[in-house]
Amino acid sequence: MELGQKLRMLRHLEGHLRGRGRALTQSEVVHAIKTELHKSISQSYLSLIENGTRPHLSHASRQLLAKFFKIHPGYLVSDPPGFRTELSWEMQPVESALDRWLLDGAARLGHDRALSAALDRLAAHADSRGCLVLLGEMLAMPGLVDRLSDTLMPKERT
**How far apart are alpha carbons 149 and 102 in whole angstroms?**
22
Name the band, by pLDDT with cuts 50, 70 and 90, for residue 94: low
Instruction: Let me know whether 37 and 99 are in one domain.
Output: no
Instruction: Let me know whether 9 and 68 are in one domain.
Output: yes
Instruction: Let me know whether 62 and 104 are in one domain.
Output: no
Q: Please give the backbone phi and psi of residue 55, each rounded to the nearest 5 degrees, phi first.
A: -80, -10
Name the band, by pLDDT with cuts 50, 70 and 90, for residue 110: confident
Residue 53 maps to a domain: yes
Name the band, by pLDDT with cuts 50, 70 and 90, for residue 148: confident
Number of domains comprising the chain:
2
Q: Which of 48, 75, 102 is the last residue of a domain?
A: 75
Q: Which long-range contacts (CB under 8 A, 24 or more apart) does 26-29 make?
A: 26/50, 29/68
Instruction: Let me know whether 68 and 112 are in one domain.
Output: no
> Which domain does 121 fall in, by range?
90-152
Assess whether pLDDT exceeds 80 at residue 47: yes
Instruction: Let me know whether 12 and 69 are in one domain.
Output: yes
